[in-house]
Amino acid sequence: MATRVYLFLEENDFKLEAWEGARSEFKRCVENHRITVSSGRNMNHASIEVQCGGSIDLALKFNISDLKQEKSSMLASMEQSVVVDIEDNDFDYWDQIPPFGVVELYDIELERGKKATEPEVEAFVTLIYNFLLKHFMMFAFRESEIESVRSYIFDWSSCIKTFSHDGETGYRVSKFG
């Protein structure tokens, strides 16, 4: 796990991974993918493009920003969304904002070929979700950034927590919770 964007950029073996018994859509994505990672505007930002070729013509492009290193006010908004009252029905012991390894996804763009099926797109987005949580403790994104992938992301609803930031709904996803 890289936990910081600058450490993530030092890695060189980026890959999607399916699990034993995964459906064929997942396996096809894993067999025919390429991940390109490049530096962003500074060492706390990176651009990522994941392509799934072959008969599945899909690409997801997005940027990430290390919220802690950038001293982003989004972290405070995320902290405010954590329920700390153990008597509250929404209390979740595992729900906390990690001290590092929290990135924001932005400029999210899904490119979908005409032959890509719904199950293939769902598998592709799920594999990227797993990829992000392999490298970072938590990722977040704003409602306005997810237009092209919204319906696929909300299949993860049990893993998503909402927060409000600058008058907009944000979502955070972590390994726990």
Domain boundaries, the chain: 5-174
- Average pLDDT of the chain, as a whole number: 90
Collapse the DSSP code of 161 into the 3-class scheme (helix H, G, I; strand E, B; otherwise coil) and give the result: strand
Alpha helices in the chain (DSSP H): 5-10, 24-31, 74-80, 118-135, 150-153
Q: Give CA–CA dist 134/48, Å, rounded.
A: 15
Model confidence over 12-64: pLDDT tens digits?
Answer: 889 999 999 999 999 999 998 999 999 999 999 999 999 998 888 999 999 99
Residue 157: pLDDT over 80: no
Residue 104: pLDDT over 70: yes
pLDDT given at position 154: 64
Of residues 98 and 118, more confidently modeled: 118
Q: What is the DSSP string of 103-148?
A: EEEEEEEEEE-TT--HHHHHHHHHHHHHHHHHH-SEEEEEGGG-TT
Architecture of domain 5-174: 3-Layer(aba) Sandwich (3.40)
The pLDDT-based confidence of 147 (bands split at 50, 70, 90) is confident
